[in-house]
Amino acid sequence: MQSGLVIVGKYRLNQLLGTGGMAEVWSATNVFTEREFAVKFLSPEVAKTPEHAARFLKEAKVSARVNHPNIIDILDVGQTDDGKLFLVMELLSGVPLEVAMRRQTPPMTIPELVFVMTEVASALAAAHRAGVVHRDLKPSNIYLHRDHKSHAAVPKLLDFGVSKFLEDGGPNVALTMAGTVLGSPLYMSPEQARGDSNLDGRTDVFAFGAILFEALTGQRPFDAANFNALIVKIATTPPKDIDVIAPEVPDALRDVVKRCLEPQRDHRLATFEAVAERLVAILPDLEKDPRPLPPPQTILSTDDPDATNALPIVRPGDRPLSVPPPPAAGTPHFSAWPTPTPHLSYTTSPASFAPPASAPAAHMRSIYAGGAAAAAAIVVLLVLLVTALRREPTVITVAGPAQITSASAPAPSVSSDPAVPTVAVDTLPVASKSTIPLEKGKGRLFISAGPSWCTVTVDGVSKGPTPLPALDLAPGTHQLRCDAPSKKSKTVSVVIQEAATANYKFSID
Strand order in the sheet with 142-146: 94-96, 142-146, 153-157
Residue 506, SS3? Answer: strand
**Bond from prior residue into 327 cis (ω within 30 degrees of 0):** no
Alpha-carbon distance values, 256 to 116, 279, 305, 428, 483 (Å): 15, 8, 32, 52, 42
Which DSSP string do the residues of 240-281 spell out, in sequence order?
P-HHHH-TTS-HHHHHHHHHHT-SSGGGS---HHHHHHHHHH
- With a CB cutoff of 8 Å and minimum separation 6, the contacts of 111 are 283, 286, 287, 290, 325
Catalytic residue (one of 76, 82, 136, 303): 136
* DSSP H or E segment with residue 28: strand 23-30
Distance CA(467)–CA(469), nearest Å, equals 7
Distance CA(7)–CA(441), nearest Å, equals 33
Residue 361, SS3? Answer: coil
Angle CA 137–141–147, to nearest 5:
135
Distance CA(447)–CA(467), nearest Å, equals 6
Cβ(159)–Cβ(62) under 8 Å?
Answer: no
Residue 95, SS3? Answer: strand
Distance CA(330)–CA(391), nearest Å, equals 47
Alpha-carbon distance values, 431 to 3, 34, 343, 384 (Å): 10, 11, 40, 17
Report, in angstroms and rounded to the nearest whole number, the Rg of the chain calculated over CA atoms. Answer: 24
Distance CA(171)–CA(273), nearest Å, equals 26
196 labelled catalytic: no
- Residues designated catalytic: 136
